[in-house]
Structure 1
Amino acid sequence: MELTAAVVLLILVSVCCESSVIVSKDGSGDYTTVGEAIKNAPDLSDKPYTIHVRAGTYQEYILIPSHKTNIKLVGDGPHHTKIVGYQNGSTIDIRGEGFVGENMGFANWAGLNASGAVAVRNEGNKTILFRCSIEGLQDTLWAVSGRQFYKECDIYGTVDFIYGNAAAVFQDCRLYARYRAFVTFTAQSRQDPSDNTAFTFQRCTFTVSPQDSPFKSLLHATLGRPLRPYSRVAIFHSYIDSIVDPKGWEPMPHQPTDKVTYVEFHNVGPGSNTDRRVDWPGVTLLQHPSQALPFTASRLLDADSWIPLTGVPYHNTL
């Protein structure tokens, strides 16, 4: 979006007032672990506190508590700076408002049959992950609650690997299915029709991970299933690969399918044909851009009021 002079000034003022520290495994920074840096960050900060995490693999389990606001983790690239976990639970658990992760990798490799092995658990309001890699198998990204924005991220998983009840918008992200006979990209868990929550995917890619491409013909995927009755997912201007079954969506055991909202608009790719989608009342191919407006970042996240101040680029329209 275009930034006004006033917004640009606010960004410049914010940047010049930022505090920052360095994490480096070799001891050349202010801290050797990410956890230490977060522990010593100011409480209830009203401006960004930047933690530059230098290249390296950090085997840690990170909590951003609710009183650590406006934490900004900046790495040297998602494949150079990685925080990795190897057990059930969350590699990083975000609860503080205003968190930004940029050029970071987050992974949980607890195992193919592990459930609850979450790479990123996010319940922070007004949170952003920008140019990050989020890697796991089942339950990779738990978008619990709040307003969340994901831009140019790579997200890897198998079953229900993006799930939760946040209002979350994913722009220009690549969703990579890892090999497993049964794959579901999403399991959005909107419980109440009054909740303004949903997952929106805009100009994203739904495909197989490069590492698993030799098994592409054996992989069977759906776009999602309802973890709760009023599940909502919108997919716009995205590429849907042939691994996605023509029915598109599938039921979750013990959950109704007559209350969901699953909408698609101007998608491309061999899996984007909607002629054989499941025959549920809320599964819809939108015909006009105005029908998609409630799922845009501006409407779903009230993004225009807070994302520009971070300097992270986004599209506020279709």
Structure 2
Amino acid sequence: MSNSSCVINAVGRFPNLPGFVTAQGRSSADDPSGFVFEGCSIKGNGEVNLGRAWEPYSRVIFKKTYFSEITPQGWVAWRAANDPSTTTYAEVDCKGPGADTSKRVPWMKNLSSSELYEFSFASFINSDRWVDKLPIIS
């Protein structure tokens, strides 16, 4: 396992019922929100789903993340069940025993370089430079 910026410890309450790491919601394609995890590690005490669509335009990206045990399908359409193609769920350069995408849902996205840039720190997280304005604590 590599050095991680964040560690998510997914501990399920029910041994045979996988939980969810995320439940992101966007009610329209114009909503600018979403979750981007880069350089993280997801581990736990059993299989877990990466996310479920809280709303039809749910958007979650895992990039360069270590996955211990992820369900084979990885993602659940939930409230986007009528048209899961409206969601943006992606895994990019992930590693670990749970990173095998061969059995993931067919509507998981393969993002191009330009689409990935849209979700980079500079473009997505800090586009209005709010992080640069945070006070420095010494």
Match of 1:285 in 2: 110
Structure-2-length-normalised TM-score: 0.82
Deviations for 1:161-196, whole angstroms, at most 9, x for unmatched residues? xxxxxxxxxx81111111323310001101100111
* 1:303 positional shift: 4.7
Cα distance in 2 for partners of 1:305, 1:254 equals 32
Cα distance in 1 for partners of 2:133, 2:126 equals 13
- Report 1 or 2 for greater relative contact order, CA contacts < 8 Å, sequence distance ≥ 6: 2
Q: Who wins on radius of gyration, i.e. which is larger?
A: 1
Taking structure 1 as reference, are residues 311 and 293 closer, same or farther at Cα in structure 2, changes over 3 Å only? farther
* 1:263 positional shift: 1.2
Structure 1 or 2: more strand by fraction: 1
Cα distance in 1 for partners of 2:118, 2:130 equals 18
Q: CA RMSD in A?
A: 2.1
Match of 1:49 in 2: none
Match of 1:298 in 2: 122
Match of 1:184 in 2: 20
Alignment counterpart, residue 197 of structure 1, candidates 33, 36, 46: 33
* 1:236 positional shift: 0.4
Q: Which amino acid is the alignment partner of residue 274 of structure 1?
A: T
Match of 1:265 in 2: 92
Which secondary structure does the structure 2 equivalent of 1:305 belong to? coil
Structure-1-length-normalised TM-score: 0.38
Aligned length: 129
1:25-104 correspondence to structure 2 within 5 Å: none
Match of 1:226 in 2: 53
* 1:289 positional shift: 3.6
**Alignment identity in percent?**
29
Deviations for 1:212-264, whole angstroms, at most 9, x for unmatched residues? xxxx3xx23110010100000011011011x2112111131574323111111
Cα distance in 2 for partners of 1:290, 1:233 equals 16
Deviations for 1:277-302, whole angstroms, at most 9, x for unmatched residues? 1112xx1234x543311111211133
Cα distance in 2 for partners of 1:311, 1:240 equals 33
Cα distance in 2 for partners of 1:304, 1:197 equals 14
